[in-house]
Structure 1
Amino acid sequence: MKKHFIAWVVPATVILVIFSACQKSGFLDQTSTTSLNEASTFSDSANAMSFLNNIYANIGFASDPKRFSGGNFAAGLDAASDEAEGPNASSSNGFVQFATGTVNPTVVPDDAWRICYSNIRAVNQYLQHLPVIPFSAALKTSTRAEAHFLRGWYYFMLLEHYGGVPLIGDSIYTTKDPMTQVRNSFKSCVNYILAECDSAANNLPVTRTGSEYGRASKGAALALKSRLLLYAASPLFNNGGIGKDVPAMDSIVAYPDQDPNRWALAAAAAKDVISLNAYSLYIDSTTNPSEPGYGFMKLFTLRYNTEYILAHMMASNKYLESLWDVPSRGGSGGPFPYQELVDAFGMANGKLTGDNGSGYDPANPYKNRDPRLDYTIMHDSTLRITYGANQPTPIKLYWNTSVSPAVAASGDAVHKGTSTGYYINKMIDPSVLNNGIGEAQRCLPLIRYAEILLNYAEAQNEAVGPDKTVYDALEAIRQRAGLRPYKLPDNLSQDDMRQVIHHERRVELAFEGFRFFDVRRWMIADSTDNQMMHGMEVDRGASVTYKEFNVRKHNFRRAMYLWPLPLSEISKLPTLKQNPLY
């Protein structure tokens, strides 16, 4: 990820320590450091701080838009789910393996295992040497809390990928140590991460500002706790999950039982974040008052805003413009949103497109839609800013001109620049051209307040039903989105509210790395990720017509609710049990 930078400088001595760890496969391999390197790193306050800072460098790898990279293409979890078609999708790579159902222990990407354990090991190194680092007592306390948060963060990423994993505590293994590690129970892993979150929250400031922005905070620790407990209450991780009928695996990949109180615990954890009164949905109703929900678009272009609880820090960049924007603006153009995601966005009046009275017009399908559709996806006739004589000029982009029978000549065209007729627009700065002016000040969101509201609504609805607080959380998101009216129908049932929550998570959090895991923890991926996915052609002949076309049949196997452990890891340590059905 050449353009994805952490905000802090790392001295060469520290790079030697971290680099050797990152080249290994995790806790099973020794970090090769000389005593001189280790001594010079932790006896110097600047080097020691840089060592800690560097553990943040991979904090966003799992949801990174370039997580799966190879050759001249890159994609993230969106291309491994029902959100988007990946670029160069005929190749053999991680996102295609999940889209086609061909993933297995031999070929599965090992980044989750390798990166997480490398960073957990680095945390353990830091904590081991903290007593001798020449920090003040206060700085030792706060950085120890940061280290505990980071360790919890990386263990959570292991948990969401694999279920229960080996917990290595404070150990720093060498090649001489006997290796008898086994996978801990799911319950043990949850409790361990909870303890890390609590330890961090007790000794961190509520928020971070100024030069400290991007570092772990109490808000981030409590928000991670919210996400963890929401997952822990979800169907995938209860009643044995996919390990229910596999001896000894029901407690490793899930809780072996079902406890409704887990939803109440998840709701309380989200409420703890809300009650801090430190975060809010970013709203901007004055910059462009004619554009409803403008704050939803604007917040992703801002380095600092009221909504980010944790962000992956970056230098000024064109990271997303180079990846997602149309080719004519210097983007590589992929991945490409599916029609199914476009259809998920409702109407500006808050109704779904298929509801009575929605006003949806299939002859003008992008008119009067939920404003988040245009802020998230570029479609034929999307209005974009271009620059002539250094003056911004809005123009409509057409890339579906006369597709039948001929394919349009434009490099942005369907079947040329895009395989679905759509491009990703979310988080792209409209004032930045990859092949022209400007750089974005963005950093990538890892936890934002909208997620916490959605976490609360889901957990509270499952715990007690759709009470007023559930309505309030969802309606706040819908109001910021620019829906008018934004109110939900009265007296929704718990099942109906569950569907509303699933829908709001899908459109609000699109392309932020959530959909892949949401459909799994809800255990609906055998439907959502097991169907033909579609694109859209637009024929501008005597009249404008819209025609869906087949793009790819997604295939899903029950085993794929969890990632397989890489075969290379099991080969080194046979005591590790593989996930069920692989």
Structure 2
Amino acid sequence: MKDNIYKINMIKRLVILIVSGFIFTSCNENLLERQPLDAISEENVFTDPVFLQNYVYNIYNGIKPHWSPGTGGYIGMTDIAASAPDTHNRSGGIRQYLEGNINSDNVTQLTNIWAEEYDYIRRANIFFEKVEDSQIDEQALNRMKGEVHFLRAWMYFELIRTFGGVPIITNSFSLSDESFDVSRNSYEECANFVLSETELAIELLDGYSQEPGKISKNAALGLKARMLLYMASPLNNPSNDISKWQAAATANKAVIDAGYTLHPTHEDLFKQPVKTDETIFGRSFTAGSRIPDWGYNYDFWPSGFDARQRIMPTQTFINMFQMANGEYPYLPDGTTVNPASGYDEQEPNKDRDPRYYSYILYPGAGPVNIIDGSKSTVRLYEYWEDANPNPDNLPPYQNPNKVDPNNNQELFDFGRDSETYWVKGLTPFHWRVQTGYTFRKLLDFNGPRASFDFDYNQLMIFMRLPEFYLNYAETQIALGNEEVAREYINKVRRRPSVNMPDIASSGTELIRDYKNERAVELHLEDIHFWDLLRWKDAPGKIDLFPIRGLSKVTMDWTNAEEGDLLGKLNFTYGPIDEVDPRFPWPGDYYYLFPIPREEIQRSNNSITQNPGYGE
């Protein structure tokens, strides 16, 4: 494995790291003036504070983005989202996982995080070796040391929540090393190493101001709190050691007490600039640093682009959004309407949690601004089913009353009669929303759906206050303090722009309310999949089958009046066969990923495979 992870051609590698730049911040112009980039020496990199800071910034790239692997991360492998077949960059691996067939030979089709994170761990180890006797100003150097301790902790956290115990390596190796044998440390050893790294980061970063996109003491407090919550969770705490829950409670309360407040509105949380009142650690994008292809718009845009709607909400997730009165629209079976809710299946978008309207695009939602070449206009979101009641899709294919009042141009809709229009050759895209819903949380409707040049306004938030309110609530449930748990869940619900009724549940109903609130508030933030694993809650969630959604939506224009943008929508709910299939949960061994076979072979079989994967 060391042969793979620690391959070093030192000077050449260091030059590449500096030249390749840093995705979290722009290059310093003074850096470019100091000397030609192709002439940077190893000595200059580790003795010049500007070069060294850029080396550190490059290690930031080891933080796995939420969209990895593929688009949307692992959320398309859970109960709240579905993946469209053959649209993900990692679609083969996603399918293998959902079929229960992931193994040491095909796991890299899903994720290559083992090799990727160890490569950045090596870069962090090089940093510590090279600055050991550095003459750089102590104040500047300590801040960089704090950043790198945090980064090394973050990368080990990613590895151990994916694979369990992994080799802890804190020094770099050259190709002249004789042995590449290395074995795994235990999960507990790895978790404690993460904690020790965060403690060092907390100490070294103390007193430095917080800057958007830059690692801070509070970010280190957050990572420590997250690690302790994972350590206390059922997957890693089978005996339910209460002391672990107490430690997690203390650490999460420390983050809460750091002085953050909820941003008054939720609609703009994921739009620039970073909302530093709530966001503990986040980053913005540039045209050159955002998600591959054209950005979140490319992959999350309603009805997709190039017929690539990669992920979409399930009916299960839609049902998680409560009614404005605080009641669930359905009873726990997911199909029986809750009589106390006031929910109507034929008016499903009425009187819902305000976050529903900000985070979900559903048939009839909008209008939203659509910048799409010659078709730029303000449109409503419809659906892939033919909106006309005409038999056999005879013309007219859309409401003749639909005229944009701003420019007198005829409007046409997302996904207008996709199946028929596709066959007739009348539209090249607009047909991949199999469940009938799309995510709205990360879209930028101020820009085009796809542009290499447009500077989209989306943010990626790695840590924000609501997570720690909810983390703390979880620890209080485990410790039997239900009143405190309700208090912190309700803090999330009391955001001024949300203002949902307080929950008052207890026991199993409180656990349901907690998990539901966490899924709604934190979706698309690389949390839900890992929650299901650490809770050992995968059966019925990850192996959910069948996926449900809107199996049919039609529109009746019979009583439409001049200027109406919508007729009467009619909804049919049912299984969706066109998404990646789900198979029964294989067993507890599936809570950890298999270690890639090639990594075991590179260690001369010193690394042992996770149980259940046949090695």
Shift in Å, 1:344: 1.5
Residue 179 of structure 1 deviates from its aligned partner by 2.9
Q: How does 1:157-306 map to 2 (within 5 A)?
A: 157-172=158-173, 174=175, 176-205=177-206, 208-209=209-210, 212-239=211-238, 257-277=239-259, 279-283=260-264, 295-305=265-275, 306=277
Distance 1:175 1:463, change over 3 A: farther
Could you tell me which residue of structure 2 aligns to residue 533 of structure 1? Answer: 547
> What are the Cα deviations for residues 424-451 of structure 1, in whole angstroms up to 9, with x where unaligned?
1112233232258963333301111111
CA contact (8 A) 2:72 2:524 kept: no
Give the C-alpha shift of residue 141 in structure 1.
Answer: 1.3
Q: Kindly report which structure 2 residues correspond to 1:127-142, keeping only aligned pairs within 5 A, or say none.
A: 127-142=128-143
The count of aligned residue pairs is: 518
| Per-residue deviation, 1:273 | 0.6
Residue 434 of structure 2 corresponds to residue 419 of structure 1: yes
Provide the rounded CA distance (Å) in 1 between the counterparts of 2:475 and 2:213: 27
Matches within 5 A, 1:373-392: 373-386=356-369
Q: Is 1:89 matched up with 2:86?
A: yes
CA–CA distance in structure 1, aligned partners of residues 610 and 87 of structure 2 = 27
Deviation of 1:463 after TM superposition, in Å, equals 1.4
- Equivalent pair of 1:349/1:485 in contact (CA under 8 Å): yes
**Which of these residues, 539, 562, 586, is aligned with residue 557 of structure 1?**
586
* Whole-angstrom CA distance in 2 between matches of 1:430 and 1:90: 22
Q: Which residue of 2 aligns with 1:146?
A: 147
Contact 1:45 1:134 in 2 (8 A): no
> CA shift at 1:213, angstroms?
2.3
Residues 1:328 and 1:214: Cα distance change in structure 2 (over 3 Å): closer
* Contact 2:104 2:594 survives alignment (8 Å): yes
Output the CA distance in 2 between the equivalents of 1:208 and 1:393. Answer: 44
Runs of 4+ in 1 over 6 A off after TM superposition: 328-331, 387-393, 403-411
Do the aligned residues in 2 keep the contact of 1:323 with 1:331 (CA within 8 Å)? no
CA distance in 1 between counterparts of 2:528 and 2:596 reads 23
Work out whether 1:502 is the aligned partner of 2:515.
yes
CA contact (8 A) 2:153 2:198 kept: yes
Provide closer, same or farther for how the CA distance between residues 125 and 90 of structure 1 changes in structure 2, counting only shifts above 3 A: closer
Q: Give the conservation status (yes or no) of the 8 Å contact 1:330–1:433.
A: no
Aligned-pair CA distance for 1:400: 4.3
Mapped contact 1:78–1:516 kept (Cα < 8 A)? yes
SS of 1:96 mapped into structure 2: helix
Measure the CA separation in 1 of the matches of 2:529 and 2:500. Answer: 30
Shift of 1:397: 1.9
1:89 CA displacement: 3.5
**Matched position secondary structure for 2:380:** strand
Provide Cα deviations, 1:120-142, integer angstroms capped at 9, x if missing partner: 11111001111354520111111
In structure 1, what is the equivalent of residue 600 of structure 2?
Answer: 570
- Which residue number corresponds to residue 611 of structure 2? 580
Aligned partner of 2:404 in structure 1 is: none
Identity across the alignment (%) = 27
Q: Which residue of 1 aligns with 2:457?
A: 441
1:557 alignment partner AA: P
Please tell me whether the aligned partners of residues 350 and 483 of structure 1 are also in contact (alpha carbons under 8 angstroms). no
Distance 1:19 1:237 in 2: 41
Question: How far off is 1:503 after superposition?
Answer: 0.7
- Aligned residues of 2:218 and 2:255 also touching (Cα < 8 A): yes
Output the amino acid matched with 1:83. I
What are the superposed Cα offsets for residues 559-578 of structure 1, whole Å, 9 maximum, x if unpaired?
32111101111121211111
Distance across 1 between alignment mates of 2:247 and 2:339: 37
Residues 348, 482 of structure 1: 8 Å contact kept: no
Distance 2:253 2:140 in 1: 29
**Contact 1:346 1:370 (C-alpha < 8 Å) held by counterparts:** yes
Q: Say if 1:66 and 1:199 are closer, same or farther in 2 by CA, change over 3 A.
A: closer
2:355 to 356, 372, 377: 372
**Root mean square deviation of aligned Cα:** 3.2
Correspondence 1:394-405 to 2 at 5 A = 394-402=378-386
Q: Is the 8 A contact 1:206 1:219 kept in 2?
A: no
Instruction: Report what 1:14 is aligned to.
Output: 14
Query: What is the CA distance between 1:351 and its match in structure 2?
Result: 1.5
User: Given the two structures, how large is their TM-score scaled by the length of structure 1?
Assistant: 0.81
Structure 2 length normalisation: TM-score?
0.77
Aligned CA distance change for structure 1 residues 303 and 206 (closer, same or farther; 3 Å): farther
Deviation per CA, 1:351-408, whole angstroms, max 9, x where unpaired? 1113442111111111111121222221111103226999997532222453788688
Q: Tell me, what secondary structure is at the counterpart of 1:131?
A: coil
SS at match of 2:267: helix
Contact persistence 1:371–1:481 (CA under 8 A): no
Q: Hey, what's the Cα distance between the residues in 1 that align with 2:611 and 2:355?
A: 38
Q: Is the 8 A contact 2:87 2:308 kept in 1?
A: no
| 8 Å Cα contact 1:370/1:482 also seen in 2 | no
Q: Is the 8 A contact 1:297 1:375 kept in 2?
A: yes
DSSP-derived class of the 2:309 partner: coil
Change over 3 Å in CA distance of 1:400–1:412 after alignment to 2: closer
| Match of residue 7 from structure 1 | none
**Aligned counterpart, 1:307:** 278
| CA 406–44 in structure 1, closer or farther in 2 if over 3 Å, else same | farther
Contact 2:146/2:204 (8 A) holds in 1: yes
Residue 325 of structure 1 aligns with an amino acid whose one-letter code is: W
Is the Cα contact below 8 Å between 1:207 and 1:219 reproduced in 2?
Answer: no
Q: What are structure 1's unaligned runs of at least 5 residues?
A: 1-10, 21-33, 69-73, 240-256, 284-294
Give the structure 2 partner of residue 431 of structure 1: 446
Aligned counterpart for 1:49 among listed residues 48, 53, 63: 53
Q: Does 1:474 align with 2:444?
A: no
- Is 1:80 aligned to 2:73, yes or no? no
Counterpart of 1:30 in structure 2 is: none
Deviations 1:500-556 (A, max 9, x none): 111111111111111111111111102212221122121224663211232244123
Q: 1:40 to 1:438 in 2, by over 3 A?
A: closer
Q: Does 1:67 align with 2:48?
A: no
Deviation at 1:12, TM superposition (A): 8.8
User: What are structure 2's unaligned runs of at least 5 residues?
Assistant: 1-10, 21-37, 331-337, 399-412, 420-430, 559-567
Cα offset for 1:229?
Answer: 0.8
Instruction: Quote how far apart the aligned CAs of 1:331 are.
Output: 8.9
Per-residue deviation, 1:310: 1.2
Tell me the CA shift for residue 300 of structure 1: 0.8
> How far apart, in 1, do the equivalents of 2:382 and 2:270 lie?
25
Partner of residue 302 from structure 2, selected from 326, 340, 346: 326
The whole-number CA distance in structure 1 between the counterparts of 2:306 and 2:181 is 51
Moved more, 173-182 or 388-397: 388-397
1:461 aligns with 2:487: no
Does 2:332 align with 1:350? no
The structural deviation recorded for 1:195 is 0.6
1:450 aligns with 2:472: no
**Structure 1 pair 40–483 and aligned structure 2 pair: CA distance change class (3 A):** closer
AA aligned opposite 1:358: S
Q: Distance in 1 between matches of 2:531 and 2:317?
A: 15
Contact 2:230 / 2:534 at 8 angstroms: preserved in 1?
Answer: yes
Q: Which amino acid aligns with 1:152?
A: A
1:524 to 513, 521, 537: 537
Larger Rg: 2
Stretch moving more, 549-558 or 343-352: 549-558
Taking a change above 3 Å as real, the CA distance of residues 15 and 324 of structure 1, as seen in their structure-2 partners, is: farther
Equivalence for 1:514:
527
